[in-house]
Structure 1
């Protein structure tokens, strides 16, 4: 039997053409100011040089492939940097953003189509454009789309997204849930809490909306991959189960125990702790956990395979997470 490749489902591409497109447009300055307040000045001073050191890995396919070889990664699922969401944009600008993002990501991956697969973007702030944006991504040969944990004034449980979930389910498209920013705002503006606390919080909130609202009941074959191991939810799902069983309001929207939905979702392995990774595999199942590194950012895993080995999983579970499950998930019909 052929050994499945090692697949990293959490890797990013930076698209300077997106930032050139939105430069100077109304709304950008306000969005940047919000991002600055959420992160705080110390984080911003570190972020600039950090990105600068990684530009080649983020933009040059040859440099990316060499880095993959160094890490023992055969295939990456490449998604745009979440900084390209631009959920502040009006409809006309939003359509230009998603089209350019989809086309540029596809072009980047075309340098090595056997090793680089891609995801596009959808403008969550304009639900009426979402299905069209997903269709455009699939037309480019991408495998699905990346979304944040919310859009301004809308949670992922919003009924306006039902057509998007239905179309993603119908087409088998992957929906990669990757937060950008945290609505706790200035409470997290020191010590990089905006990321270390904010990202896991946003993951947990977004997944809870998908579960408790019944989205996963209505779309049982929806392929959602949650970044950062799903944040705090998988290791604290017992509290959700308790609420569902004891309170009428908590159990009103979904048909089953919240923990059961973890086996309908996919999670990357980027949890930075071998014991947390073991727990994630326990509650979701090895067939629902995928290798993820957040390549090439500093909050990622420089050695994702080493991090996976540190969890001391069984051989079968290790192989599932290393690439067997992702190979099947990324396979195009």
Structure 2
């Protein structure tokens, strides 16, 4: 049987979510922070870029036609990270995750054999994360998407233990996709906020999960890291050295950091065939999944071609192209 081609990094834009937060206290401040982090030149390019891609982000028929052109059979669709809104109060945050989960599920329901979905949880209100995950699963979604941190909290924060416990018990997928880099204005030119910021945030978030022992306590957690996990997988030797050389670095996790890469999943979106081959070497060919960042300009219009450029052995190519993801998605969560 031919293995379907599965793209695990694809986004949907939800106008309902933005309508919900429009005019609320805190939105202007959040947008001002985003503007400072990205800089005016980046914002001037990003606005028209998103508008040009609105049909692919909102219209299932256009999405499916583009998938056909790309040779993609199935997408794992997650909300645009711009919908996180980790500044909202508890009442609004609950309304937001419900709206986002329901709208994403409705989008995917137009082609349930080809579109599977992920919802959102409000990381800035840890007590709501468990109910938000339950709601997502109740909508038929496969899990949730999270950022690399929330204001004042990293993913190692004990407040998230109930979320990891619930995600592990249910088999829900957690898709780690950063939005915004805490290096702030240092990255406000040349789109460094994305080109450097995203892989940095991935590396920091994954390091928190590893070094704090979250992955020791929750070995069955199904976590997919966007952007190939950022800088961490290709520079994991430095983490191993610190773990073995320093008592403070090795105090929180039981094993060398590199050993945890095989417990995580990574998308293939690294924009370099040499880096992709190294990612497979570091994490294992069974832990890498095809990802395109559909349909944004920092993604790839030809995810299968980008994978083919790495010249992997045929078995590894097929595993990354869709075999690994098919197994992961078919297993599915248990609400």
Q: TM-score, normalised by structure 1?
A: 0.99
1:213 aligns with 212
Report the Cα distance in structure 1 between the residues aligned to 2:147 and 2:128, rounded to whole angstroms: 16
2:25 aligns with 26
2:80 aligns with 81
Number of matched residues?
332
- Structure 1 residue 201: Cα displacement: 0.1
Instruction: Give ranges in structure 1 of 5+ residues lacking alignment.
Output: none
Report the Cα distance in structure 1 between the residues aligned to 2:2 and 2:96, rounded to whole angstroms: 38
Report the Cα distance in structure 2 between the residues aligned to 1:110 and 1:200, rounded to whole angstroms: 32
Report the Cα distance in structure 1 between the residues aligned to 2:69 and 2:166, rounded to whole angstroms: 38
2:67 aligns with 68
Report the Cα distance in structure 2 between the residues aligned to 1:283 and 1:184, rounded to whole angstroms: 27
- Structure 1 residue 4: Cα displacement: 1.3
Displacement over 6 Å in runs of 4+: none
Report the Cα distance in structure 1 between the residues aligned to 2:46 and 2:324, rounded to whole angstroms: 33
1:120 aligns with 119
Q: Please give the per-residue CA displacement for 1:271-297, whole angstroms capped at 9, x wherever unaligned.
A: 000000000000100100000000000
- Structure 1 residue 127: Cα displacement: 0.3
- Structure 1 residue 128: Cα displacement: 0.3
- Structure 1 residue 77: Cα displacement: 0.1
2:27 is equivalent to residue 42 of structure 1: no
SS class of match (2:236): helix
1:101 aligns with 100
- Structure 1 residue 38: Cα displacement: 0.2
Report the Cα distance in structure 1 between the residues aligned to 2:68 and 2:233, rounded to whole angstroms: 31
- Structure 1 residue 3: Cα displacement: 1.3
1:246 aligns with 245
Report the Cα distance in structure 1 between the residues aligned to 2:42 and 2:16, rounded to whole angstroms: 25
* Superposition map of 1:236-315 within 5 A: 236-315=235-314
1:199 aligns with 198
Q: TM-score, normalised by structure 2?
A: 0.99
Q: Please give the per-residue CA displacement for 1:83-125, whole angstroms capped at 9, x wherever unaligned.
A: 0000000000000000000000000000000000000000000
SS class of match (1:43): helix
SS class of match (1:270): coil
- Structure 1 residue 157: Cα displacement: 0.2
1:130 aligns with 129
SS class of match (2:75): strand
Report the Cα distance in structure 1 between the residues aligned to 2:8 and 2:238, rounded to whole angstroms: 29
SS class of match (2:224): strand
Report the Cα distance in structure 1 between the residues aligned to 2:107 and 2:42, rounded to whole angstroms: 29
Q: Please give the per-residue CA displacement for 1:159-209, whole angstroms capped at 9, x wherever unaligned.
A: 000000000000000000000000000000000000000000000000000
Q: Please give the per-residue CA displacement for 1:64-85, whole angstroms capped at 9, x wherever unaligned.
A: 0000000000000000000000
Report the Cα distance in structure 2 between the residues aligned to 1:54 and 1:132, rounded to whole angstroms: 32
C-alpha RMSD over aligned residues: 0.5
